[in-house]
Structure 1
Amino acid sequence: MSENSNIEWTDHTFNPWIGCTKVSPGCDNCYAEQMMDKRMHKVEWGPRGERVRTSAANWREPIRWNARHAQFFAEHGRRQRVFCASLADVFDTAVPIEWLIDVLDVWRQTPHLDKLVLTKRIGNATKRLGEAFNTLMLRDDCAENPLVPWLATWIAGNAPADVWLGATVVNQAEADRDIPKLLRTPAKTRFLSMEPLLGHVDVFSSATGELLHTSGNEYEPGALDWIIVGGESGAGARPMHPAWARSLRDQCAAAGVPYLFKQWGHWHTAVVDGSTGRATFREFASFEQWVSKAQTWVAGGICLDRHGVPLERGEDFMRARDEGGFPVTVMHGVGKKASGRLLDGAIHDAFPVTSLDVGAACGRARGAM
């Protein structure tokens, strides 16, 4: 799927700068910090560290990708997707506003690319776009600068169709806080990245119901256009309970929202169903079943109660029994590669279809006549 990125849901990754500060439980085991700070020593992570702008050659890459859009569409039947940014956050307030202006101008100059802008700071988006516009208006060339009307149109509510706006949400508290912010920010395509998923999340909960529904319980199509789900990998990875991923799959199916299951991460299962050959998660349905089968079923793995809380000692299981924590699910640390991307035996690789996709396909069909 990816040309210049190992990330399953994009073709290219564009990092205009490197560096960030942790702002979420999902950041605890940040892969970008481990790679760029701890291992490669290219940048100091955190509020005291500086953001490091990448090379001019790297900034020219989106322009190059944009220029070859016709060739890509002929080969793949769709537009190119560019993730902005995997090693930083576009709406980080520690970044000079001039850098953001430069990024916005790259987006303006690449209308044939779908820019997938994912942030852990969705509450900053409208403010930072406004700051960028005000800064532009102070420049001597503001009357001739094509970025000014492009950005003014976005701020006025008519967002560019080729900029997909996404928020990272890892638990219910973040969903309740950030989904309304995402829905209030002008965008043609909005999405959630729920990776690492750290708990059960009801995306269409009462906290977001006012914005997600038009009337009663009728879901408003287009309010959220895509949901990505994935577990955590790497050192210190936290397990993703299978029930959490299944629930989001089912929520998306009920709402007609495309669902992409990116990965299990480090934790999955080492058990295979002999009759089907499929990986299977073993469960203790009750405390009594755990007592009789524990040594055989756990086999070096971990047990999670139905809320995803690890159970390590006998008293933990007794508490789960008394507090309604059963059934308990067994998971094993098999690593990202072995765990794969199958959810109940299926790959979930759905993407939103935008007006630009339809327009490009129609244009290609007319050209073939």
Structure 2
Amino acid sequence: MGANSKIEWTTHTFNPWWGCTKVSEACKNCYAEAWSKRVGQKVWGPKAARRTMSDAHWKQPIKWNKDAEGATNRPRVFCASMADVFEDRPELIEPRDRLFDLIETTPHLDWLLLTKRPQNVRELARWGQEWPHNVWLGTTVELQTRADELLPYLAEIPAKVRFISAEPLLGPLDINAWLDSTIDWVITGGESGPKARPASPAWFRELHRQCMENSVAFHFKQWGDWGPGDGTNLPAKKRQLAQDGTEMLRLGKKQAGRILDGAEWDQLPRSRAL
């Protein structure tokens, strides 16, 4: 986390605070919750306090912005990997306002605000119908029910780029109705970690097909802990049939990799003129 992120679809990560509350099936095996517990931070759940950050931490994007002046490629800042900017809690009003101030004073950075709560954005964001050119808004849709519930809220917000994170993808998605007017970028991938659930390759291929047919940027982040292959010599606990019948092997995130049908998919969106 921080400068030079290892997350493939961003340049840096920035967290205005740490902590959140689970709200969907994608949250079941939350990596951020596991990491915070590992480092001794009890910041998860509705009753837990959120961890605030130092002034030195808040100065990092100012440096990134200065370094980016005149650069050919604009750095992307994922905000927030350890929280949700649009979690509605009274103690988050002040740091959220500070974040919005920071975004407005760093015009050479593209800020990627990914939320599981797009229904709160209209009320909690300050920008109304005039969003800054450097703010991309995304929401997590891991299942069709979540897409049907959340994408109408995403469509209401006039961000210059609107995107979805279908990670961990937990079922097939049909988002054709949203690709021509709402979604500019689809990020997808499988789940990692000790309790990871395998995804069906057919789910990723279908999402890729929908994006290509609608000229929408597609990013395949990872297979996760489970990848397709021939597991003849592996124990049964490391083999599982996916919903589409593909044998999935528990290889670990690194070995499973991020090749989908012979290629890495790292497409980026273009800003929407709204």
With the shorter chain as reference, the TM-score category is: over 0.9
2:226–2:252 CA contact under 8 A, matched in 1: yes
Any idea what SS the aligned residue of 1:5 has?
A: coil
- In structure 2, distance between residues paired with 1:105 and 1:61: 14
CA contact (8 A) 2:160 2:272 kept: no
Question: Which sections of structure 2, spanning at least 5 residues, go unmatched?
Answer: none
Query: C-alpha separation between the residues in 2 aligned to 1:19 and 1:45?
Result: 5
**Are positions 1:98 and 2:70 aligned together?**
no
Q: Which residue of 2 aligns with 1:78?
A: 73
Aligned partners of 2:143 and 2:169 also within 8 Å:
yes
* C-alpha distance 305-66 of structure 1, shift in aligned 2 (>3 A): closer
Which of the pair is proportionally richer in helix? Answer: 1
Give me the TM-score of the superposition, normalised by structure 1: 0.70
Q: Say if 2:3 and 2:13, in contact at 8 Å, map to a contact too.
A: no
Corresponding position of 2:30 = 30
State how far apart, in whole Å, the 2-side matches of 1:246 and 1:232 are.
16
Deviation at 1:220, TM superposition (A): 3.1
**What SS does the corresponding residue of 1:33 show, helix, strand or coil?**
helix
Q: Report how many aligned residue pairs link the two structures.
A: 269
SS at match of 2:69: helix
Is 1:194 matched with 2:166?
yes
Bigger radius of gyration = 1
CA distance in 2, matches of 1:245, 1:110: 35
Q: Is the 8 A contact 1:18 1:43 kept in 2?
A: no
Which one-letter code corresponds to 2:119 in the other structure? Answer: G
Structure 2: which amino acid aligns with 1:124? N
Matched, 1:167 2:167: no
Contact 1:115-1:162 within 8 A present in 2 as well: yes
Contact 2:229–2:247 (8 Å) recurs in 1? no
Following TM superposition, by how much is the alpha carbon of 1:96 offset from its aligned partner in structure 2, in angstroms? 2.5
Secondary structure of the residue that 1:68 maps to in structure 2?
helix
Give the whole-Å Cα distance in 2 for the aligned partners of 1:63 and 1:88: 21
Corresponding residue number in structure 1 for 2:114: 118
Deviations 1:285-329 (A, max 9, x none): xxxxxxxxxxx59863111333xxxxxxxxxxxxxxxxxxxxx22
2:243 corresponds to: 305
Q: Could you tell me how far 1:70 is from its partner in structure 2?
A: 2.8
C-alpha distance in 2 between matches for 1:33 and 1:305:
28
Q: For residue 20 of structure 1, what is the aligned residue in structure 2? A: 20
Give the residue type in structure 1 aligned to 2:171. G
Q: Give the aligned residue type for 1:195.
A: E
TM-score by length of structure 2 reads 0.93
Shift of 1:269: 2.8
Say if 2:201 and 2:228, in contact at 8 Å, map to a contact too.
no
Determine if the alignment matches structure 1 residue 244 to structure 2 residue 216: no
The answer as to 2:261 corresponding to 1:344 is yes
Matches of 2:191 and 2:257, distance apart in 1: 12
What is the one-letter code of the residue matched to 1:109? T
- Percent identical pairs in the alignment equals 46
Equivalence for 2:49: 50
Kept in 1, the 8 Å contact 2:208–2:218? The answer is: yes
Among 141, 150, 159, the alignment partner of 1:178 is: 150
The alignment's C-alpha RMSD in Å is 1.9
Q: What stretches of structure 1 move > 3 A for 4+ residues in a row?
A: 296-299
* Structure 1 residue runs without a partner (length 5+): 130-150, 213-218, 272-281, 283-295, 307-327, 357-369
Distance 1:128 1:355 in 2: 22
Distance 2:187 2:31 in 1: 18
Match of 1:60 in 2: 59
State which drifts further: 40-49 or 245-254.
Answer: 40-49
Distance 1:122 1:160 in 2: 17
Counterpart CA distance in 2 for 1:351 and 1:182 is 19
